[in-house]
């Protein structure tokens, strides 16, 4: 029996609390991150979304910690019996998709449907690719190390396998060098393939972001998704676009920022947990649309989404998302070498999970600072920040 057949609420809360505590240390003790967060706070942004990203990233870690334990019991990497664990992972991925489409459809609306495709793709490459190449490169190196760097396939086949992973697994997610279940080294890359499909479509569909055709586009898209979608994931991209339209309706945004709307957001999340824990459906997307609209309108849910630790987690959320499964995989293999993970008590395994969370946050601190940020802002902004930090 998996430890998640029992109630995982308390361990889950502990992992979230530990993440916020560590993030608080980062933002208060490290001048670089303090300066970056200060700039975010002072800028015009969707501030609640910044903090939301952090909570979503931690939710995915907790989700995979649970699945990992079930894997060592059953040999299958699949959803656990825990409704909460399934909700945490799937709703987090769904909302990440909604954030993507919300932000970029909002830009399309602001530009009246005119997007500079060249500039858009350059910005996406600078934002997404460097950290992804690091994460996928670690997967490749890990697979080669676990096969003792003895090449067991042809050179062309090995190159094809590596390129498939470097290309966001869009060509597939093959085993590398004969390592069975290579995908377990990092199981999150599939979602980035969906993100890139949206990026590729955006310059083409942006013309429908104009005032008088966007609802026609939404209706047609709904019919296409209903008829042809095999996963239901497209609903979240569509509803993210719908949110970008609704937040620009003044009375909708005003109502969504009211304190009572915070309670409505929590209630809708609870409804997803109770009635749509698998999330990936029209009903799940419809229920998540309400809290996401409330957050996107600027409702911070009693300041939880805009507190500095949450912002800190949001800042490094992409690194958290890409690195946590690799850390979990290596930690589990190391422990299993000495004692079976399946034999750990619930307390022992959750302690392992805590160590994985903290190690992931520390590693993400480094990768954001030295991989994401330099290419994200460019050398000139980096130099300005360095001067500001030195002055402090």
Burial of 336 (0-12, 13-18, 19+ CB in 10 A): middle
What token pair was written down for 275? 């009635």
Residue 368 in contact with residue 316, Cβ under 8 Å?
yes
Cα–Cα dist 247/358, whole Å? 36
Q: What is the pTM of this model?
A: 0.94
What token pair was written down for 92? 């987090």
Sign of the C-alpha dihedral, residues 73, 74, 77, 79? negative
What token pair was written down for 204? 């083409």
Other beta carbons less than 10 A from residue 155's beta carbon: 8
Cα–Cα dist 361/317, whole Å? 9
Cα–Cα dist 233/281, whole Å? 7
pLDDT value for 389? 47
- CA nearest to 238, candidates 276, 288, 193: 288
pLDDT value for 7? 63
What single-letter DSSP state applies at residue 10? H
Residue 71 in contact with residue 178, Cβ under 8 Å?
no
Q: How many residues does the chain have?
A: 392
pLDDT value for 390? 43
pLDDT value for 6? 55
Residue owning tokens 């805009």? 306
What token pair was written down for 40? 């975010």
Residue 86 in contact with residue 187, Cβ under 8 Å?
no
10-residue mean pLDDT profile of the chain (392 residues): values are 64 97 96 95 92 98 96 94 95 98 96 94 96 98 97 96 96 95 97 96 94 91 96 97 96 96 97 96 97 97 96 98 98 97 94 98 98 80 48 48
Residue owning tokens 């199981």? 187
pLDDT value for 391? 45
- CA nearest to 310, candidates 57, 60, 102, 127: 57
Q: Residue 24 is inside which H or E element, if any?
A: helix 9-29
Cα–Cα dist 68/293, whole Å? 32
């Amino acid at each position: 029996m998996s430890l998640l057949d029992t109630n995982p609420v308390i361990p889950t809360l502990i992992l979230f609390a530990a993440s916020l505590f560590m993030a608080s240390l980062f933002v208060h003790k490290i001048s670089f991150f303090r300066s970056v967060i200060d700039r975010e706070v002072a800028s015009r942004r969707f501030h609640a979304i910044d903090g939301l990203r952090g909570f979503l990233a931690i939710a995915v870690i907790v989700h995979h910690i649970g699945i990992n334990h079930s894997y060592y019991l059953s040999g299958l990497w699949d959803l656990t019996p825990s409704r909460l664990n399934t909700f945490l992972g799937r709703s987090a991925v769904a909302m990440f998709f909604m954030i993507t489409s919300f932000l970029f459809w909002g830009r399309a609306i602001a530009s009246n449907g005119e997007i500079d495709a060249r500039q858009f793709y350059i910005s996406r490459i600078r934002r997404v690719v460097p950290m992804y190449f690091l994460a996928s490169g670690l997967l490749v190196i890990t697979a080669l190390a676990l096969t003792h760097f003895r090449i067991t396939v042809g050179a062309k086949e090995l190159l094809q396998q590596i390129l498939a992973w470097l290309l966001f697994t869009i060509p597939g997610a093959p085993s590398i060098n004969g390592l069975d279940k290579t995908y377990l080294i990092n199981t999150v890359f599939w979602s980035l393939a969906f993100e890139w499909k949206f990026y590729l479509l955006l310059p083409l569909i942006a013309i429908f972001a104009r005032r008088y055709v966007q609802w026609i586009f939404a209706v047609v898209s709904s019919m296409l998704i209903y008829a042809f979608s095999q996963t239901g994931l497209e609903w979240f991209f569509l509803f993210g676009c719908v949110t970008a339209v609704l937040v620009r309706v003044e009375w909708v945004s005003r109502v969504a920022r009211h304190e009572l709307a915070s309670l409505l957001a929590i209630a809708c999340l609870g409804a997803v947990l109770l009635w749509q824990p698998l999330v990936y459906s029209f009903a799940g997307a419809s229920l998540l649309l309400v809290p996401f609209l409330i957050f996107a309108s600027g409702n911070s849910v009693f300041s939880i989404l805009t507190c500095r630790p949450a912002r800190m987690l949001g800042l490094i959320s992409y690194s958290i998302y890409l690195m946590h499964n690799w850390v979990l995989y290596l930690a589990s293999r190391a422990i299993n070498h000495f004692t079976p993970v399946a034999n750990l008590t619930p307390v022992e395994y959750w302690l392992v999970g805590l160590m994985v969370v903290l190690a992931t946050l520390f590693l993400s601190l480094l990768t954001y600072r030295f991989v994401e940020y330099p290419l994200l802002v460019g050398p000139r902004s980096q130099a300005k920040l360095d001067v500001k930090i030195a002055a402090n």
